[in-house]
Amino acid sequence: MDEINLQKLDALNNQYVTKVVQEAIQRCKPAKVTVVTDAKEDLAYVRELALINGEEQKLKMEGHTVHFDSYYDQGRDKAHTRYLVSQDIDWGIKVEYTEKERGLKEINSLFEGSMRGKEMLVRFFSLGPTNSVFSLRALQITDSAYVAHSEDILYRPAYEEFKKLNNSPDFFFFLHSAGRLENGVSKDIDKRRIYIDLEENKVYSVNTQYAGNSIGLKKLAFRLAIKKANEEGWLAEHMFIMGVHGPDDRVTYFTGAFPSACGKTSTAMIPGQTIVGDDIAYLKRIDDGIIKAANVEKGIFGIIQDVNPQDDPLIYRALTTPRELIFSNVLVNDGVPYWLGMGKEIPERGINHSGEWYKGKRDKEGKLIDCSHKNARYTVGLNALENIDPRANDPAGVPVQAIIYGGRDSDTSVPVVESFSWPHGVFLGATLESETTAATIGVEGVREHDPMANLDFISVPFKTYIENHLKFTEGLREIPKIYGTNYFLKDESGNYFNSKLDKKVWVLWAEGRVHGEFKAIDTPVGRIPCYEDLRRLFLEALGKDYDKAEYVQQFSLRVTKYLEKMERMEKIFKNIEMPLAFTAELKAQTERLKLAKTKFGKDTISPLEFLR
């Protein structure tokens, strides 16, 4: 480290920061160390370095660049993402973990000399707005200028915030190395490891470039935040935050948890609404008896597949106009990016994550290679979006009046349902199921239990996590309503029952329910909309005629399918010690479903029958 960068580090006057930086240098042995401050020239240096290193390439449109990960490094690596713990923990759920001393020995050996010939970047960020009760400081060390550039788009700079720590160790620490490179991508994928030290708030990631594994401040920091939240009495959740706009300029703030590729970002980006954040939220009980939430990030790392002018007009416009923007693992032809489902003719040749690509190309296993990966992404600042909420960076957060839990379910759940109570809503979130997608490595189309869309990230015993949700609203004067949504219901031929834009109606109905404007029909699984209210909302919001046959098709209670789900849940929770309130909700919903099946004598019950 030269004198200038040493002075930048010394200016923080923090022995704990200095120690982890020194240890990283000694272990990784970089050729150069650069300490990056909040200064514009420092941030510009990182952007330029990503181009010089070949980690990003310029595209035709001003400000746009593209990054490619290894063909075999295209999603979160669940199998090699592990917690490091020094004592046994009764997690209650399947959690990948390693004994801390053994795990540190392994990961440190992989970091040994991993930055030889490369430049180490030392970065400082804030998770959440700065100068806020929500903000957490984070120190990132990486040899990837692409990772550092991505974090500049996604997170708030905090070098100056670190000066206010007063020599405290109260920060998250992330060490990342892409490892040995071949043709610009990580070579030793078989030695890809992402280890999370829950006891010391440190994350180690090596031999990977894919952002979900390498950008420490995203899902890796999220795991640390969940543990911290559960210890301190707040919630760190896999949630968007959006302003839903009702009559007379009314804005109602919703949060929503959806597993990857289940409509989360597109919900947060519904036309006519405003976005605070699309991925991770911190929720805290504020002194005036309400819940407030803040977006951890200031940008979006979104799945780009199926983003097109019809279904996602605001995102599409942001992706096709000049601005600072990183595409990853898309197809590039003549400096122009293309992706699956963009609503545009795709060239038959170009460059993608497999190298030189042509239509019909197959990998060494004989699998057809798409023009872009199904998990291809874009990284863009929220301020690039026309619908950014005016309070997106409010240090005080925004008041939460409703919460949505949504999964990918082709044959069971209705499009929208309101819980009977807060405990019933927690139950809906805890029993969330979703059919797997390309966002994680593994088989697609498998139904998985994903409580609160958070299973991959829960870092405390599951019972503790659910208990903290159940008691989170105790003593509050305003308790948010909770909704379940499902945009992926199909008929027997595999056709979707509703269009992608219909979600606007489900959300507007929920907003109206928050303010007592719509009646609802009680069913065994919660409260569903009345037909006349939806008919009016479809006409007003989408200019569509919504006939009763569609309503009956979508909102019929598939009672046998729901009972099958309850059986799956009973098996899952049978061997987990759960809070009594949760167990009571599981039993009550099962009994309601059985009574309905006996009463109506049908596998599928029309919503109209619950009115009789």
Strands 97-99 and 604-605 come out as: unpaired
CB 269 within 8 A of CB 275: yes
Amino acid identity for residue 332 in this structure: V
Euclidean distance between the first and the last CA atom of the chain, given in angstroms as a whole number: 77
Considering only CA atoms, which of 586, 580, 584, 555 is closest in space to residue 568?
Answer: 586
CA distance 511 to 505: 10
Q: Which two tokens stand for residue 383?
A: 């301020």
Q: Which two tokens stand for residue 498?
A: 């509703």
CB 252 within 8 A of CB 338: no
Which residue's structure tokens are 């959690």? 95
User: Alpha carbon of 6 to those of 144, 455, 488: distances in Å?
Assistant: 20, 41, 54
Considering only CA atoms, which of 258, 207, 211 is closest in space to residue 28?
Answer: 207
CA distance 609 to 612: 5
CA distance 261 to 406: 11
Tell me if residue 28 is catalytic: no
Q: Which of 28, 262, 371, 530 is catalytic?
A: 262
Considering only CA atoms, which of 473, 434, 440, 478 is closest in space to residue 452?
Answer: 434
For every residue of 534-586, DSSP letters joined together read HHHHIIIII-----HHHHHHHH-EEHHHHHHHHHHHHHHHHTS---HHHHHHH
> Which helix (DSSP H) or strand (DSSP E) does residue 419 occupy?
none
Q: Which two tokens stand for residue 409?
A: 């379910």
List the catalytic residues. 262
